[in-house]
Amino acid sequence: MQDMVLLADTINDVDKLGLRVNGVLTTTVMLVMVTLSTIAAWRRTKSVLAAGGALLGGVALWYAVVNAPAFRDSVGDTIKPGGSVPPVTEGRGPAVVRVVEPIAGTGAERGGEGL
């Protein structure tokens, strides 16, 4: 029983470590990347407009990274299978059925069929 408690504690510690690493990546590293890209754009072009564009692009990317789970979950709510077509049952859509009747004298008695 002691081994199970130790394993649960280890899993809990690894989970907390993963959350902290994720927090560091989404805050500190993204802040440094946005700052460096803004400075690089300004140094390359000497334009405040280009630096502002780099800053806005970096902030938009940062926002998308931080809110990725919300975006992921909203896609499933927005896109529904089937759309305006009748609901899909068991993964199959509407089908077209073609009935072929045997024609006398064309070998229908031997398994032939006519269209």
Instruction: Dump pLDDT digits (tens) for 82-106.
Output: 555 555 555 565 667 777 777 666 6
In this predicted structure, what is the pLDDT of residue 43? 95
- Is residue 35 very low, low, confident or very high in pLDDT (cuts 50, 70, 90)? very high
Amino acid at site 59: V
Helix (H, G, I), strand (E, B) or coil at 58: helix
Crossing angle (nearest 10°) for helices 48-66 and 68-78? 70
Contact 42, 51 (CB under 8 A): yes
Two tokens, residue 6? 């130790």
